[in-house]
Structure 1
Amino acid sequence: MLSMKTTPNHTGVKISGDYFDLDELNQAIYKVIGKEGEYHGYEGSRLRILGVSYEIRHAAQGDRNVEFVFNGLHENTKKQHGFIAPDKNIYFSAEVLWPELLYAAYALRDFVRLYGDKRGDLLADTYTPVIAKFQALVLECLQGHVPGEEYAAILEAFRKSPSVNEYAVQYVDLLNLKYIGMNRQQREKSLSAIAMKLTLQDSEYQAFRKQVIDAAAPGKQPIHEIGIQAKYPEQVEW
């Protein structure tokens, strides 16, 4: 079963599951976000989501964390059915920074809509329910670490926030780096504000986006191709 929990230093979220859980999520992400260039104005967001998917895929391949989880098979059940079997399953996991994961959950809202517009009736679709569960798990994990009133406001923002069409995704890097630079207590206090900033696209974001657009204008580049000068640390204390 796919699960999420915040990391010890509140830096991010550990996404856990068996191989099939993680592979199912990856397949759903690939299907819903479409191919490169398929949705004009969404390529930057698509690449950010692929970054999260990359970690999930490597987790499923055993390249990140591996742990053993009780599978519900008790000794009396083994005796009753007369077989020998392990009572633990192998689970894989990977950590993702909180701002990055929140943005992925937020941006996937648009991709589900775009996918639905292209596909039509989603009644028999098996991919969008997997995405919905992923988004719900992110928000459920967030709920345990923010005050109730703030969580209600975040849910409302996720429902009504603007589209991520032409979103300046470098802003996610800015929030990631700020968040990494905080201590645990500061992260706990700022998580609600970061979730709101990602979704509401406030005046700070708009000013940042204008800088990105200005940087892209001379070469007529897509705004998602503009890099930032700041670098991520080689090691993150999760």
Structure 2
Amino acid sequence: MLSMKTTPNHTGVKISGDYFDLDELNQAIYQVIGKEGEFHGYEGSRLRILGVSYEIRHAAQGDRNVESVFNGLHEHTKKQHGFIAPDKNIYFSAEVLWPELLYAAYALRDFVRLYADKRGDLLADTHAPVIAKFQALVLECLQGHVPNDEYAAILEAFRKSPSVNDYAIQYVDLLNLKYIDMTKQQREKSLSTIAMKLALQDPEYQAFRKQVIDAATPGKLPIHEIGIQAEYPDQVEW
């Protein structure tokens, strides 16, 4: 079963599941976000989501964390059915920074809409429900770490958040790097603020986006191709 829990230092979220849970999520992401260049104005957000998918895929391949989890098979069940079997399953997991994961959850809302427009009736579709569960798990994990009134405001912002069409994805890097540099206590206090900033695209974001557009204009580049000067640390204290 796919699950999420915040990391010990509140730096990010550990996404866990067996191989099939993680592979199902990855396949759903690939289907919903479409092919490169398919959705004009969304390529930056698509690449951002693929970054999260990259971690999930490597987790499923055993390249990140591996742990054994009780599978519900008790000794009396083994005796009742007369067979020998392990009582644990192998689960895989990977950590993703909180701002990165929140943005992926927000951006996927747009991609599900685009996917539905392309596909039509989603009644028999198996991918959109997987994405919906992923988004719900992100929000459920967030709920445990922000006050109730702030969580309610975040949910409302999630419902009404503007499109991520032509989003300045470098802003996610800015929030990621600021968040990494915080103490555990600072992260706990700022998590709801970061969630709101991503959802509402506030004046700080708008000013940042203008800077990115100004940098992209001379070379007539898409704004998602503008790099940032800062670098991520080699090691993150999760």
Deviations 1:61-105 (A, max 9, x none): 000000000000000000010000000000000000000000000
Equivalents in 2 of 1:198, 1:23: separation in Å? 27
SS of the aligned residue for 2:158 comes to helix
Equivalents in 2 of 1:116, 1:94: separation in Å? 29
Deviations 1:15-45 (A, max 9, x none): 0000000000000000000000000000000
Equivalents in 1 of 2:153, 2:170: separation in Å? 24
Percent of matched pairs sharing the same residue = 91
Equivalents in 2 of 1:24, 1:85: separation in Å? 25
Equivalents in 2 of 1:212, 1:169: separation in Å? 10
Q: In structure 2, what is the equivalent of residue 109 of structure 1? A: 109
Displacement of 1:231 after TM fit? Answer: 0.3
Deviations 1:116-168 (A, max 9, x none): 00000000000000000000000000000000000000000000010000000
Displacement of 1:222 after TM fit? Answer: 0.2
Equivalents in 1 of 2:205, 2:106: separation in Å? 15
SS of the aligned residue for 2:89 comes to strand
Equivalents in 1 of 2:225, 2:51: separation in Å? 15
Equivalents in 1 of 2:73, 2:223: separation in Å? 52
Runs of 4+ residues deviating >6 angstroms: none
SS of the aligned residue for 2:86 comes to coil
Displacement of 1:112 after TM fit? Answer: 0.1
Normalising by the residue count of structure 2, what TM-score does the alignment of the two structures yield?
Answer: 1.00
Equivalents in 2 of 1:151, 1:169: separation in Å? 24
Displacement of 1:191 after TM fit? Answer: 0.1
Aligned residues: 238
1:169 counterpart = 2:169:
yes
1:222 counterpart = 2:228:
no
Q: Identify unmatched segments of 5+ residues in structure 2.
A: none
Displacement of 1:47 after TM fit? Answer: 0.2
Displacement of 1:224 after TM fit? Answer: 0.1
Equivalents in 2 of 1:4, 1:194: separation in Å? 19
Equivalents in 2 of 1:104, 1:207: separation in Å? 22
Equivalents in 1 of 2:77, 2:144: separation in Å? 35
Displacement of 1:6 after TM fit? Answer: 0.1
Equivalents in 2 of 1:2, 1:97: separation in Å? 18
Displacement of 1:172 after TM fit? Answer: 0.1
Displacement of 1:52 after TM fit? Answer: 0.1
Equivalents in 1 of 2:80, 2:117: separation in Å? 52
Equivalents in 1 of 2:100, 2:224: separation in Å? 15
SS of the aligned residue for 2:159 comes to helix
Equivalents in 2 of 1:107, 1:227: separation in Å? 20
Equivalents in 2 of 1:165, 1:81: separation in Å? 56
SS of the aligned residue for 1:157 comes to helix
